[in-house]
Amino acid sequence: MIKVYDRVLSQSEKKILRKHVTETKSEIPKNIRSAAVLTLILVSFVVLVYLFTKTWLIVLFVSASFFIIWLLYNVISDLLKLPKFLNKKRNVIENGVVRVHEISIDRYVKIANLEDEGNYFIAEYKGMLNLIGGQEFLGVRDLKNTIEKIEIMDAQKTEIFYETVKSTGIELHHYYSFEKGVPNTLIKSEIWENLTNRKPFAGRLEELDTFIAKDKQHKNNYE
């Protein structure tokens, strides 16, 4: 049901990372301008405190100065980290590794927007069930018979620089779709406990028929 393997980056994946590098480099002048503006504001505050010795003004300027210093610290920190980050990303383009989690599917049940984490799917493949989806599947509404979860890492496989989910192969029509989340009866069931362990186990989608029938009845009551 789930096959994990490593491969080299494709040209399209390298192109995506090169675009990220270009976008990040374009942020450097903006950060430099931000640092210059914040420094100018901070110097202005110092001058104003020197010129106007009223207590309430001093308190106001000093309070504002702490906030400006905090912003300036963050901007400068980002600027100092950028060269190292860009070099790491360039190295990933040339020497990185793509880890692919390939998920095969025969049929599936869709759970729409579960707990505001995006769509989840109860997938069946050769008599095995597994729960997939969530935030990493954002934008995925329907499934095909092969899902690839892609993670682009450095050569040492210690850090992920880009990840995405691809749905490829034959278009599948869902066995059923829970549009209002998971019914309480399903949440309290043994099958849901097995699903939330996120490990494939023996089962078929027909085992959900009782919960599906109750969900349909609940829908009809509100129509």
Cβ-contact 120, 132 below 8 angstroms:
yes
- Going 177 to 182 to 183 to 186, the CA torsion angle's sign is positive
- Strand residues in the chain grouped as ranges (E): 2-7, 97-104, 107-111, 120-125, 128-133, 144-153, 160-171, 176-178, 201-202
For every one of its 223 residues, what pLDDT tens digit does the chain have, with 9 covering 90 and above? 789 999 999 999 999 999 999 998 988 899 999 999 999 988 888 887 777 767 777 778 778 888 889 999 999 998 998 889 899 999 999 999 999 999 999 999 999 877 777 889 999 999 999 999 888 887 788 889 999 999 999 999 999 999 998 888 899 999 999 988 788 888 889 999 999 998 899 999 999 999 998 888 876 655 5
Residue 187 phi, psi dihedral angles, 5° rounding: -60, -35
Three-state SS at 77: helix
Three-state SS at 199: coil
Q: How far apart are CA 160 and CA 99, in angstroms?
A: 10
Residue 20 phi, psi dihedral angles, 5° rounding: -60, -40
Cβ-contact 182, 192 below 8 angstroms:
yes
